[in-house]
Structure 1
Amino acid sequence: MISIEHAKQMAKRLRTVLEARGQEVTHSTALELVAQQLGYKNWNTASALLPQETTPNAITFESPIPIVRMFDEAKAREFYLDFLGFHVEFEHRFEAGMPLYLGISRNGLNIHLSEHHGDASPGTTIFVPMHNIELLRDELLSRQYGYGRPDIVQQGWGKILEVHDPFGNRIRFCED
């Protein structure tokens, strides 16, 4: 995976190659060009989303996995699997008839759903930065989900597509 440091090195090499060809560019311009080549809107976005390089024995964190409360397994599967297009990573019950703990994922987004009292509170909001929000909206609308037809709302800083699950939780898909 490309890190911020790797992207900066790419920008430095780009400047060197362009200067050798008589095309002088600033470091800032080279960073912007590299960010666009990597699929980001600009360098600010790339530097916010690209991982930092870590040193050995450093404290590091991975992407958090939100735990969302659910109360009805069938409704949860209808919403998260059938409508949103997630797939099941794992299912866990301590024994038959006990609450379900369900791990789901889609394209790098992981969510855990839990029937366990105390794991999470209903009314949670998950903020999900993403790319190609229009494609997601079109996909969701094509599924004709009976309890929602989400649409994109343009904000001053970007686009939001918000969906509400049957348990009062929200997922805000966002693209800047």
Structure 2
Amino acid sequence: MSLGTVTPILRMFDVDKTKDFYVGFLGFNVDWEHRFEEGLPLYMQVSKDGCVLHLSEHHGDGSPGSAIRIATTDIDEFHQRLLASGYRYSRPGVMDTAWKTREMTIHDPASNRLTFSTAVDVDQ
């Protein structure tokens, strides 16, 4: 018996702002979108490298203000890319933590909190 990967479902309210944030700012790709019919809520998957997220307009799918942590291999490089993007709604900073990580926290348009984290090599 083994467990598989986890795919968080985050709430969204504005599809255009959500795509601008995840695709335009963070560099994710939209893998697929689903609506039961025109005019009904959107459910979609976005991904970047090994990170897969589901975003949903459906009432009851996730709570606005949820928090997730995403492991990142080089937080400083990612941080510089985000600052260079010119996205006008967020200018995140990076901080060192007592638990030996460097972290960058960003809120999406639905106030979900994404914390990107890189482990710090304590032997250096």
Whether TM exceeds 0.5 here: the answer is: yes
Letter in 2 for 1:171: L
Q: Deviations over 1:49-73 (max 9, x none)?
A: xxxxxxxxxx222210000000000
1:74 equivalenced with 2:16 (yes/no): yes
Q: Name 1:56's counterpart in structure 2.
A: none
Equivalent residue for 1:167, pick from 110, 113, 118? 110
Equivalent residue for 1:143, pick from 57, 66, 85? 85
Unmatched 5+ stretches in structure 1: 1-58
Inter-partner Cα distance in structure 1 for 2:61 and 2:107: 19
Letter in 1 for 2:57: E
Residue 104 (structure 1) shift: 0.4
Equivalent residue for 1:114, pick from 37, 56, 60? 56
TM-score calculated relative to the size of structure 2: 0.92
Inter-partner Cα distance in structure 1 for 2:72 and 2:25: 18
Letter in 1 for 2:24: D
Letter in 2 for 1:164: H
Partner SS state of residue 82, structure 1: helix
Inter-partner Cα distance in structure 1 for 2:76 and 2:68: 19
Letter in 1 for 2:66: T
Question: How high is the sequence identity, in percent, across the aligned residues?
Answer: 42
Letter in 2 for 1:101: Y
Residue 128 (structure 1) shift: 1.0
Inter-partner Cα distance in structure 2 for 1:164 and 1:119: 18
Residue 131 (structure 1) shift: 0.8
Partner SS state of residue 172, structure 1: strand
1:130 equivalenced with 2:54 (yes/no): no
Partner SS state of residue 148, structure 1: coil
Residue 130 (structure 1) shift: 1.8
Equivalent residue for 1:158, pick from 84, 101, 116? 101
Residue 151 (structure 1) shift: 1.4
Q: Aligned runs of 1:1-176 on 2, under 5 Å?
A: 59-156=1-98, 157-176=100-119
Q: Deviations over 1:34-91 (max 9, x none)?
A: xxxxxxxxxxxxxxxxxxxxxxxxx222210000000000000000010000001110
